[in-house]
Amino acid sequence: MTDPMAMCIAEAICKNGPNVIASGAKQSQIRRILQVPPGLEAFLRRLTAGLTRHILAVLLIVVAASCCAQSPAKSGLTIVVISDLNDAYGSVSYSPQVHTALDYIERSQPDLVICAGDMVAGQNLKLSEDNLRAMWRGFDELVLRRIRHHNIPFAFTFGNHDGPSNRRYEHERKIAVEFWQKNRPELDYVDNSNFPEFYSFTFKGLFIAVIDASTSQINQTQRDWLQKQLQSEAARAARLRAVVGHLPLYAIAKGRDKAGDVLADADALRALLRAGGVDYYISGHHHAFYISKKDDLKMLSVGALGGGPRQYLNSELPPVKTLTTLQLADSSSSFSLLVHDVSNGMKVVKLSDLPKELHGHNGVSLLCDSDCDSNKPVR
């Protein structure tokens, strides 16, 4: 097959043909199971017109056997990072951009998906317990199950809308904890004694520590835990170390440039991360994508997919919803980034188009240089 459309069909059949055969799917179900992009639906209909399910199954077996036998082993590591999926308070559904991101995840089949918080739309005292539980059911049915259906590992951190770690919203946190205790991700945990609030795991040579940064305060208990994790044999042996938390260290977006919307004592926390050999701090909350660097620590702020994308500080660039893919080559010790503008047809975002520096109330963020961009180096 040399035609690109035919090759795309063959690739989809290669990955998912056995599911079609095993399920006895009708033709109306085939596109969903094969995960063929919507633009190819008409082609698939023409391809399968007039075929019975049994004849189609035979053809799938032949094509799947042929293409799978020739497929090279996947190299490198791919992680998709999402964040701030929530819409209006109490919402049990998600914006079209969230579903677009999930379509992308299904097509690209990353090795891991990380959510940097705000999976549901809580942090509102007017929400009933029934509504809070309904939000987590909505997340499970509309987001989590789609990812787990493809056996893609999923890691997360709590955001402020997931039930922040303070007494005022302890009823929300209780429901969130119950949900994740019943739906614990299958990860290679180093320490899950405090799961789901903070935990650590290894993944294909990476060490990842997840902290509870749903508020601006990281207490001493958690700091001591994090320091111990970063000194562990698993962390020292890893080729790359990342910490994930919802609030960022430094302000980057309008409407978030104030205490309470960044981690308190950011410089001391950054020093703790660097002393532990952390390469990346991954966060959400500011609803704007940005990758910055201080000393050797790269700080990735993941854009929002739900409501309310925000403008950068000291910039007139329009706010957009984004999706971030981290790619790690077998021989590399740092990620390259592929960022899509989900608000505008999955257009690729070039780092060179972003502000070179952002001035917040608690520090200046400098755009990371060319080793962070897989598309075009910043000059």
pLDDT one-digit tens code per residue, 170-208:
999 999 999 999 999 999 999 999 999 999 999 999 999
Exposure of 318 in the CB half-sphere (CA atoms within 13 A) = 5
Residue 75, pLDDT score: 75
Q: For residue 41, what is the enclosing H or E element? A: helix 41-48
Helix 4-23 vs helix 27-34: crossing angle, to nearest 10: 110
What CA–CA distance (Å, rounded) separates 260 from 315? 22
Residue 74, pLDDT score: 62
pLDDT one-digit tens code per residue, 67-116:
443 333 467 999 999 999 999 999 999 999 999 999 999 999 999 999 99
Q: Is residue 291 within 8 Å of 300, Cβ to Cβ? A: yes
Place of tokens 């399920």: 23
User: Architecture of domain 77-372 in CATH?
Assistant: 4-Layer Sandwich (3.60)
**133 vs 376, residue with greater confidence:** 133
What is the chain's length? Answer: 379
Q: Is residue 106 within 8 Å of 58, Cβ to Cβ? A: no
Residue 331, pLDDT score: 85
Picking from 40-49, 141-150, 240-249, 261-270, which range would have the lowest pLDDT averaged per residue? 40-49
Which residues touch 4 (CB under 8 Å, ≥6 apart)?
Answer: none
| Average pLDDT estimate for 147-163 | 97
3-state secondary structure of 99: helix
Going by C-alpha positions, the residue among 126, 134, 113 that lies closest to residue 168 is 126
Query: What is the rounded radius of gyration, in angstroms, for the C-alpha atoms of the chain?
Result: 22
**Residue 43 CA, distance from chain mean position:** 31
| Average pLDDT estimate for 266-273 | 97
What CA–CA distance (Å, rounded) separates 105 from 30? 18
User: Quick check: pTM over 0.95?
Assistant: no
| Average pLDDT estimate for 335-341 | 96
What CA–CA distance (Å, rounded) separates 261 from 251? 8
Is it true that the peptide bond before 4 is cis, omega within 30 degrees of 0? Answer: no
Place of tokens 């095993």: 22
Q: Could you state, in order of their start, the residue ranges of all structural domains in the chain? A: 4-70, 77-372
pLDDT one-digit tens code per residue, 13-64:
544 444 443 444 444 444 444 444 444 444 455 555 655 555 555 454 444 4
